């Protein structure tokens, strides 16, 4: 789907999420959402907050699982995704904090494997993700599934690419401060979501989006796996769609 601006696109995506939440509410069921961080989804979250305030959209039946977290950042670290989600969304809506799941970046290394298994198991027990929101890295990563990630990869500790670390350098005040690893939901769980929406804005993402959408399905561009998903949308602004 193509939109004139990121604002317009974000409104449409927030509308879709709100419709899902309301639908589940009317069934007395929970909406299980997979959420993403980064600059790209910020306007979607802002729009959901607006709908909560002005239209009474409630998140009491919403359960969330975030894609990833830097290892090993604590939940209060400035660049942690725990903090990002609290600031950009959770603290401003009526969601139950106990329903908000984000990989724990502070676990001792020997507990990470078990944690990852449980994270996926928890999602499965709730019937899977109803909706997965995604951004895309300039190297084609989704979540922190870097190039080379297998289509069946599980939730795991991933070593970050140089491109990914370089893109995060400003935020961390220098490359040396960027963590070398992150815990990420695997490709397999993303592909099992009932609906996947990947967002990308701006010229700097145009080339990788072109490869993901029109190029071969390859582990070198993990987002290209989404071509094999039966209910996926790439939501783009015009400048990002320039190479398609
Ligand atoms: C990080 C996140 C990804 C995100 C990507 C793009 O690597 N782990 O989930 O999609 O950055 O970030 P941005 O939206 O800021 O361009």
User: What does the pLDDT look like over 138-195, one tens digit per residue?
Assistant: 999 999 999 999 999 999 999 999 999 999 999 999 999 999 999 999 999 999 999 9
- Sorted by where each begins, the domain ranges of the chain are 2-237
pTM (predicted TM-score): 0.98
> What kind of fold does domain 2-237 have according to CATH?
Rossmann fold (3.40.50)
The atom number, within ligand 1, closest to the CA of 37 reads 9
Name the residue with the closest Cα to ligand 1, atom 5: 137
28: left (phi over 0), alpha (psi -120 to 50) or beta: left
The atom number, within ligand 1, closest to the CA of 68 reads 8
Please answer whether residues 36 and 135 qualify as being in contact, where contact means their C-beta atoms are separated by less than 8 angstroms: yes
ipTM above 0.90, yes or no: yes
Residues 206-244 as b/e (b if ≥16 CB within 10 A, e otherwise) read bebbebbbebeeebebbbbbbeebeebbbbbbeebbeee
User: Could you report the per-residue pLDDT of 84-115, keeping only the tens digit for each?
Assistant: 999 999 999 999 999 999 999 999 999 999 99
Name the residue with the closest Cα to ligand 1, atom 6: 137
| Residue the block writes with tokens 């919403």 | 62
- Report how far residue 240's alpha carbon sits from residue 201's, in angstroms, rounded to the nearest whole number: 5
| Residue the block writes with tokens 């990947």 | 198
């Amino acid at each position: 789907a193509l939109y004139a601006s990121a604002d317009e696109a974000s409104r449409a995506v927030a509308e879709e999420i709100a419709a899902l939440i309301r639908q589940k509410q009317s069934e007395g069921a929970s909406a299980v959402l997979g959420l993403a961080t980064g600059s790209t989804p910020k306007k979607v979250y802002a729009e959901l907050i607006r709908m909560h305030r002005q239209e009474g959209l409630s998140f009491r039946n919403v359960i969330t699982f975030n894609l990833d977290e830097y290892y090993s950042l604590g939940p209060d670290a400035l660049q942690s995704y725990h903090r990002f989600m609290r600031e950009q969304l959770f603290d401003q809506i009526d969601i139950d904090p106990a329903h908000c799941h984000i990989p724990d970046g502070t676990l001792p290394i020997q507990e990470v494997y078990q944690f990852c298994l449980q994270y996926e198991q928890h999602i499965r027990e709730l019937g899977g993700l109803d909706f997965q929101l995604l951004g895309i890295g300039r190297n084609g990563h989704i979540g922190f599934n870097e190039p080379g990630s297998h289509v069946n990869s599980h939730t795991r500790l991933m070593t970050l690419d140089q491109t990914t670390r370089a893109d995060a350098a400003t935020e961390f005040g220098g490359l040396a401060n960027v963590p070398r690893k992150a815990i990420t939901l695997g490709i397999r769980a993303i592909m099992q979501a009932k609906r996947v929406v990947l967002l990308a804005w701006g010229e700097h993402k145009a080339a990788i989006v072109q490869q993901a959408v029109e190029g071969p399905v390859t582990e070198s561009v993990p987002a290209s796996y989404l071509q094999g998903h039966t209910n996926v949308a790439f939501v783009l602004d015009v400048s990002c769609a320039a190479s398609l």
